[in-house]
Chains A and B, each alone.
Chain A
Amino acid sequence: MLETSKYDAQIILESGQFFFANYFGYKKITICELVFNTAVCGYQEALTDPSYFKQGLVFTFPLIGIYGINNKDNESNKIQASALIIENLENDFSNNHACESLNSFLLKNKVPGIHNIDTRYLTKIIRENGSLKAIIAPIEEDKNELLNLLQKSILNHHVEELNIEKHKTHEVYDRNKTLIVYDFGCKENILNYFKKENFHLYCVNHHTKYEEIKKIPHCGIFLSNGPGDPTELKAFIEQLKLMIDNGEKLIGICLGHQLISLALGLKIQKLKFGHHSINHPVINLKENKVLITSQNHNYVTSEENWNPQVEVTYRSVNDGTIEGIRHISKKIMSVQFHPEANPGPYEAEYVFNEFKELLNA
């Protein structure tokens, strides 16, 4: 307990700052983009959320791992984040659902974690500098070489590298029930909501051409959440424009929302350090009602060059940025926040009803 554990890891930020820390999970060198999350619980959901692909997840809550890891709360089949950065690691987990420790979960997934680091300080650096690239490495590695490596690295092609395979829930297609899901790294719970509503899901990836889908009887197209810069998916956006022109019913969440925005001619801008938490108030402009939402995005739909055919449905109460849009005449709507929660509050789950209404209309 009290043996002096010397630091065995270091983390170097692209801004040049560095911290000593201790490894847990899988010890390896990793380059990632740092994002912080202020949620107290929900580390399992966040780690397995494909939107965190290639990112180093910093939790601001200083004690992580208390309730362990269970076999119900995964948002995909593995850890998607590149690294986990926390202040204190809890190994004596205790919860009725828990079946293993956070440490062993990372180890199994070959993902490194570091702890014994002032995460509040790190968070403030991210807040001031914007999202930062960082490299995590054993302490004996040469700092300059690591920094060099970091500076040379480029974190892109997120969706491409997720290598999403096509999958479907039903063999029979139905023009009233089949929902095409463009999976850019879709969270499990989004699919669960659709399944609960008895949709037949036909999941495709960003390479899937509109022509291919057209052949399949369906009631609408859903664009999922996912990691990375939406503007990278140029080819897909062109496909999306075709879908819009053809009067497809479109719904989207997070990355899907950004892609719809782009296809509607709107611009996307990068936020300084993004919205990554479960406590963000968002106002439903139509009903003038505030919802507390789960959020996880670095990019946001910009106000510039607005398309008058589009109306804003939701805005962030904190910074006023766009959190949801709807096409005035076409059956297109999308939200930037995560109505499926996990982690986070469930009060936006009615958005799925709105989706359903749109698809059924």
Chain B
Amino acid sequence: MHNNVSKKILVIGSGPIVIGQAAEFDYAGTQGCLSLKEEGYFVILVNPNPATIMTDKNIADTVYMEPLTEDFVKWIISKEKPWGLLATLGGQTALNLAVKLHKSGILDKYNVTVLGTPISSIIASEDREVFRQEMLKIGQPIPKSFTVNSVSQALDLIEKKQLNLPVVIRPSYTLGGLGGGIVSTLKDLEIILKRGLELSPISQCLLEQSIQGFKEVEYEIMRDCSGNTISVCNMENIDPVGVHTGDSMVVAPSLTLTNKQFNMLRTASINIINHFGIIGGCNVQLALDTKTDEYYVIEINPRVSRSSALASKATGYPIAKVSSKLAVNKLLKDIIYNSKNPNVSAALEPAIDYIVTKIPRFAFDKFKSEESSLGTQMQATGETMAMGRTFEESFLKSLRGIENEYKFIWAEKYEKLSVSKLLKLIEKPNAYLFYQIIAILQKDETQLNKINHITKINTFFLNKFLNIIKILKNIKTDNLTKEILFKLKKYGISDYAIAKITNKTEQEIFHLRKQMNVLPVYKIVDTCAAEFKAATPYFYSTYSQENESIVSKKKKIIIVGSGPIRIGQGVEFDYSTVHCIWAIQKLGYEAIIINNNPETVSTDYSVGDKLYFEPLTFEDVMNIINHEQPEGIILQFGGQTALNLSQTLKQENIKILGTSLEAINISEDRKLFAEKMNEIEVLTPPSYSTSDFNELENLATKIGYPIMVRPSYVIGGKSMEIIESPKDLKTYLSRHSFGDEIKTLLVDRYVLGIEAEIDAVSDGTNIFIPGVMEHIEKAGIHSGDSTAVYPTYSLSEKVLKEMCKITLKICKSLKVIGLINIQFIIWQEKIYVLEINLRSSRTIPFLSKATNINIVELATKVIMGHRLKEFKLPLLHKPKDNRYFIKAPVFSFIKLWKVADALLGPEMKSTGEAIGIDRTLEKALYKALLSAHIDVLRHHSIAISVNRKLWPNLLKTVLILSQLGYKIYATKDTSLFLTKNKIPNEIIHKIGEKNNIIDLIKKTNLSFIVNIPGNKSKNREDYKVIRSKAIEKNIAVISSIDLFEKIAVLCHQMKYLIKEI
């Protein structure tokens, strides 16, 4: 083989996390980079997402955290002159960018070879019409479609049976399929088609055979450059066609297909990817009409994907790793991907001997929305996966890891409703369909066929749901014999559920089981269903006979991961978890990881010494502790999910390493926290907590408005709001129904100062602060949605020193061991501590990248007993070079438009983050925003509507932009104010009038929109319409006056003047 080291490969990452493109690309990217390095290549990576393992220096050879735009990547190419480009690891973002680089001739100019699937195939598979034509060419069925210009034409098609009802009507040239719909009767066809023809500017509609309700099946296919193919895994969506696969409950392998159906679809998938000449992994989605066995091709994704990550975890076959090797022309049969299973080459189709269930995690609970309907656009933020040997076990294990607002299968909200109401609800696919089905079956088992008829969910799954209910009905307090318990566990009934029914505690059930020896065994995920001997250290629990997880004699530590990704608890925690695992291994211990998120690096079995793919509940974690008998357990890197286990584990005398539970309790209980801070003379904003919601008003008056209200023990500031008056308080209480879980509400004085935060490592006596970050936005916007700057830019040395002092004080008094995150507010020369988190924080990966310090490793060493003194570190690390590092939040509003409002506040809304690095703050900010898909230098117009309180701050900023030649559009009041101050502007009229915001957005290329309503603004609804219209058109909405100010300065420094002489 030639000398590969001289061969550089550029890998494009997927950028910041948004819905539909999440942690799975860190998992794939990390594997891919390592896999190429293994083959001797020099890997250059571009990815501006700081919260990723793949951008660590030990993964790729050279890492650029620059924006994923044509320009920036072009500059990198011109500097690095890579031989090859691998674009199939970075999701749609990387594919699109590769196509752009190809089309603009950059790849040709610099002689860069596209590795893996040829660019022409990528283009052909991405363009719907080209794809259609290609499918027709090779005789693969796609839904039939016809264009019509009249109703009679349509009726004719139906009559001649060229098209059968139901039919999808898509009016031509209307945005987002406006005016279309699915019709199942001739009458509806006439009505909707008539309207569609009217709406279409060319009076034309596309009629397409509807495949909604068909069985949705996916295949993950691998193909090498010689045309050898295998199917890694197939998956069946429990939710039929119509719901995005990312939003569907999914099982692997497919369960309800016969061998012939299975292989018919497998053959189709292979034929398709052969036709496109795919090299690497490819996802094929198919729809099967279970009445006729006819199938249709939905789409293909010629790259690694969320589904491929799921398939990798479901089978133990690392698709990204193998794909990367295929991209450099290795053959499937020559690849051994798992050194612990050397009998198996990548050419063996994985065999599964368990049932895998994936359940999506949604953000609807967070947005308190009644609207939770699902469709063809993905809305889930994350997912859990579980394995079991019965469907019930697999499904219920996955469900109990989901951590949504419901416990187990019970949703009181739906149990309260009548069967007829529920039957109405399930007509529309929605995020709570499962709970609604359970509620119906609990009331009336005979509705099963009707549910099948309405939802088209296969009766196999419905029968299983019913079986769960039947099993539960038979649980009685006095009959928990060994045999019954075993059977309950075999069918996945959680200790929590048994406890609830029998009026016991989860712990009591655990002990009862332990006493009766009803304990799970652990089985290996070996990719070959035990056909060959394999020692893959990848396990799942089940209730069966043989235990394959052999406990080693080494000292071992269990590390608990952070579960499904949700807003507020994202991939940042997986980053920390992975670094903790590595640190534990370096310290000579066996690192055992428990996690249930298939998208992540931490659930790659090659990361730790042992992976238990299990839910993160007391029951499942205790089972593993009981089996492994570790030295201790580390919870502080797995976010709130892991930390929430401390209480119950402590009661079982499990050694929780790091900061004590007492300290954690203080940090999480506002009252105790305030007392403690008071005791050590640290300022906190006046605050109270109360479990009597009627008392709130008095407390608010005592503190003085504005106040901040939120429930205790929540992730990411859920249900947190700033309230300015008693009236607002009443509205707040009426809008939130706090269930059993929320016992206490917290009330704080809302302090509008500069926000800053510190992440520090503490050994209880000494601390090390890797860095202080300053937020551009003033207090009031959740820290996760703020733009953080490292190093700080406006804080004085004195303030920094004082902050360090406070941090030391807190760490000493709470005996913090490990990580601490402190949020500060600097207001009127005083430093307040807003909150502390005694765990890894969201900013750890960002700060690690910015300082080039492995903060988690250091923290882990301290947790394991090392003293900070040993490392001879200063109290505060001084920034090494004169660069600014900026972390910008990234939002997925375009996916969540139905439920989320783009207005920022104390409740976190961002799904990811981007990093921008440069010598000046402005350049760094520009890059960070660009990576967050906001190009503020693009176009020359902005639209402003700002509440009057902020007008004084606004003037200076608008003037800068105006002088730069920006055209300023402003809503009525703001416009009058600007005019009065001699800033030329154009008025935006109210909606309903001419030249309103909707017209403006349609006709004008806006750089961005500044939209900051006052709390009491009468026209809040108008503001909201502006935001939602902006989201639809993908225009950035700035809702912080501070950020607007910084952007204006940025534009001033970076924008060229385009003006006649």
Tell me the complex Cα distance, A277–B344, Å. 14
In the complex, the answer to whether B463 meets A92 with C-beta atoms within 8 Å is yes
- Knowing A61-B352, A123-B529, say if A317 contacts B257 (CB, 8 Å): no
A62 touches B355 (CB 8 A): yes
B347 in contact with A118 (CB, 8 Å): no
Contact partner, B350, options A39, A62, A279, Cβ 8 Å: A279
Task: Let me know if A144 is at the binding interface, CB within 8 A.
Answer: no
> Within 8 Å of chain B (Cβ to Cβ): is A130?
no
B226 x A288 contact (CB < 8 A) = yes
User: A221 contacts the other chain (Cβ, under 8 Å)?
Assistant: no
A117 to chain B: which residues have CB within 8 Å?
A: 545
Query: Please, how many angstroms separate the alpha-carbon atoms of A276 and B306 in the complex?
Result: 32
| Bound-complex Cα distance A127 to B483 (A) | 30
The residue from A90, A120, A317 contacting B544, defined by CB atoms under 8 A apart: A120
Q: Please, how many angstroms separate the alpha-carbon atoms of A277 and B266 in the complex?
A: 16
Bitwise interface map of B from 316 to 340 toward A, beta carbon under 8 Å scored 1, else 0:
0000000000000001110000000
Given A40-B253, A344-B263, A345-B266, A118 and B546 contact (CB-CB distance below 8 Å): yes
For residue B390, which residues in chain A have a CB less than 8 angstroms away from its CB?
A: 62-63, 88
Chain A residues within 8 Å of B290, by CB: 95-96
Residues of B within 8 A of A62 (CB): 353-355, 389-390
Interface SS majority for chain B: loop
Segment with Cβ contacts to B, from A65-73, A77-85, A198-206, A208-216? A65-73
Given A88-B389, A317-B333, A345-B267, A42 and B474 contact (CB-CB distance below 8 Å): no
| A94:B529 contact, CB within 8 angstroms | no
On chain B, the residues within 8 Å of A63 by CB distance are 255, 355, 389-391
| Cα distance, A117 to B258, chains bound together (Å) | 24
C-alpha spacing A123/B545, complex, angstroms: 13
A73/B258 in contact, CB under 8 A: yes
**B259, B345, B464: the one within 8 Å of A42 (CB):** B259
Chain B residues lying within 8 Å of A172, measured Cβ to Cβ, are: none
Query: Does A281 lie within 8 Å of B352, measured CB to CB?
Result: no
Q: Which residues of B contact A103 (CB under 8 A)?
A: none
Q: Known contacts A38-B529, A62-B389, A289-B228: does B484 contact A279 (CB below 8 Å)?
A: no
Does chain B have a CB within 8 A of A29?
no
Specify which of B267, B459, B474, B484 is in contact with A347 (CB 8 Å cutoff).
B267
Contact A95:B226 (CB < 8 A) given known A40-B352, A88-B389: no
A346 contacts partner chain B, Cβ-Cβ < 8 Å:
yes
Q: Does A296 contact B (CB under 8 A)?
A: no
The answer to whether A277 touches B270, judged by C-beta atoms less than 8 angstroms apart, is no
A41 & B257 in contact (Cβ 8 Å cutoff): yes
Task: Please give me the residue from chain B that is nearest to A43 by CB atom.
Answer: B259
B351 within 8 A of A: yes
Instruction: Indicate if B460 sits at the interface (CB-CB under 8 A).
Output: yes
Per the bound structure, the CA–CA distance linking A346 and B261 in Å amounts to: 12
B769 at the interface (CB under 8 A from A): no
Contact with A along B217-239 (1 / 0, CB 8 A): 00000000011111100000000
Tell me, yes or no, whether A361 is within 8 Å of chain B by CB.
Answer: no
Number of chain A residues whose Cβ lies closer than 8 Å to a Cβ of chain B = 57
Q: How far, in whole Å, are A46 and B545 apart by their CA atoms in the complex? A: 26
A70 to B290, CA, bound (A): 14
The answer to whether A120 and B262 touch across the interface, beta carbons within 8 angstroms, is no
Contact B347 A4 (CB under 8 A): no
Is B554 close to A, CB under 8 A? no
Is the beta-carbon distance between A60 and B267 smaller than 8 angstroms?
no
Q: A283-B333, A346-B267 are in contact. Are A2 and B487 (CB under 8 A)?
A: yes
Neighbour of B293 across the interface among A96, A119, A124, A292, CB < 8 A: A96
* B484 and A4 contact, CB distance less than 8 A: yes
A87 and B544 contact, Cβ closer than 8 Å, known pairs A1-B471, A2-B484, A41-B258: yes
Q: Is the Cβ of B458 less than 8 Å from the Cβ of A87?
A: no
CB-CB < 8 A to B260: which residues of A? Answer: 72-73, 342
Is B135 interfacial (CB-CB < 8 Å)?
no
Residues of chain B within 8 A of A183, CB atoms compared: none
By the criterion CB–CB under 8 Å, are B353 and A60 in contact? yes
Q: A63-B355, A123-B529, A292-B349 are in contact. Are A92 and B344 (CB under 8 A)?
A: no
How many residues on the B side are at the interface (Cβ–Cβ under 8 A)?
Answer: 65
Contact mask for chain B residues 464-507; partner A; CB cutoff 8 A; 1 contact, 0 none? 10010011001100000101100110000000000000000000
Q: How far is the CA of A100 from the CA of B963 in the complex (A)?
A: 80
Please give the distance in Å from B354's CB to the nearest CB on chain A.
Answer: 6
B263 pairs with A341, CB closer than 8 A? yes
Q: Mark A18-60, 1 if CB is under 8 A from B, else 0.
A: 0100000000000000001011111011000000000000001
Contact of B226 among A87, A120, A278, A289 (CB under 8 A): A289
A157 on the B face (CB < 8 A): no
Contact B345–A317 (Cβ < 8 Å): yes
In the assembled complex, B921 has its CB within 8 A of some CB on chain A: no
| Interface presence of B256 (CB below 8 A) | yes
Q: Does B348 contact A (CB under 8 A)?
A: yes
Give the Cβ gap from A120 to chain B, nearest Cβ, in Å: 5
Distance, CA A252 to CA B545, complexed state (A): 42
A119–B488 CA distance with the chains assembled, in angstroms:
20
Whether, in the assembled complex, B186 has its beta carbon less than 8 Å from a beta carbon of chain A, the answer is no
Of residues 440 through 464 on chain B, the ones whose CB sits less than 8 Å from some CB of chain A are: 458-460, 463-464
Chain B residues with CB below 8 A from A42, complex form: 259
Contact A95 B258 (CB under 8 A): yes
A4:B483 contact, CB within 8 angstroms:
yes
Given A61-B353, A67-B257, is A290 in contact with B533 using a C-beta cutoff of 8 Å? no
Task: Verify if A167 is at the interface (C-beta below 8 Å from B).
Answer: no
Asked if A118 and B544 sit within 8 Å, CB to CB, the answer is: yes
CB closest residue in chain B, given A121: B546
How far is A77 from B483 in the complex, measured between Cα atoms in Å? 40
Report the minimal beta-carbon distance from A129 to chain B, rounded to whole angstroms: 13
Partner of B351, one of A19, A72, A124, A277: A277
Contact between B531 and A118, CB atoms less than 8 A apart: no
Say whether B256 contacts A66, CB under 8 Å: yes
Is A318 positioned at the interface, with any CB of B under 8 Å from its CB?
A: yes
Chain A residue numbers with a CB within 8 Å of B262 are 40-41
Cβ of B333: which chain A residues have Cβ within 8 Å of it?
281, 283, 290, 317
A123 touches B352 (CB 8 A): no
A92 touches B459 (CB 8 A): yes
Contacting residue for B546 out of A2, A4, A124, CB 8 A: A124
A344, B545: Cβ atoms under 8 Å? Answer: no
* Identity of the chain B residue whose Cβ is nearest the Cβ of A279 in the assembled complex: B349
A243 to B985, CA, bound (A): 99
Report the Cα distance A96→B290, complex, angstroms: 6
Q: Could you say which residues of chain B place their CB within 8 Å of the CB of A127?
A: 530-533
| Complex-state Cα separation, A347 to B333, whole angstroms | 17
The one of B228, B253, B256 that contacts A95, using a Cβ cutoff of 8 Å:
B256
Name, among B229, B333, B531, B532, the residue most crowded by chain A CB atoms within 10 Å (CB to CB).
B531
Report the bound CA distance from A62 to B540 in whole Å.
14
Interface centre among A4, A62, A123, A278 (most CB of B within 10 A): A62
Query: Is B291 interfacial (CB-CB < 8 Å)?
Result: yes
Q: Which chain B residues in 337-372 approach chain A with CB under 8 Å?
A: 343-345, 347-355
A343 in contact (CB, < 8 A): yes
Measured CB to CB, the nearest residue on chain A to B291 is A96
Give the complex CA separation of A288 and B333 in angstroms: 10
The winner among B331, B389, B532 for most chain A CB atoms within 10 A is B389
Q: Which of A19, A40, A42 has the most CB of B within 10 A?
A: A40
Closest CB of chain A to B368's CB: distance in Å?
Answer: 37
Known: A2-B470, A4-B483. 7 other contacts (CB 8 A): A36-B530, A38-B528, A44-B258, A120-B544, A121-B546, A279-B348, A345-B267
Across the A-B interface, give the 9 residue pairs with the lowest CB-CB distance, nearest first: A118-B545, A279-B349, A42-B259, A121-B546, A2-B474, A38-B351, A94-B460, A281-B347, A38-B529
Residues of A within 8 A of B (CB): 1-2, 4, 19, 36, 38-42, 44-45, 60-63, 66-67, 70, 72-73, 87-88, 90, 92-97, 117-121, 123-124, 127, 277-281, 283, 288-290, 292, 317-318, 341-347
Listed A/B pairs (16) with beta-carbon separation below 8 Å: A38-B353, A40-B351, A44-B258, A60-B353, A62-B390, A87-B544, A92-B464, A94-B459, A95-B256, A118-B545, A120-B353, A121-B546, A127-B532, A281-B230, A343-B263, A346-B263
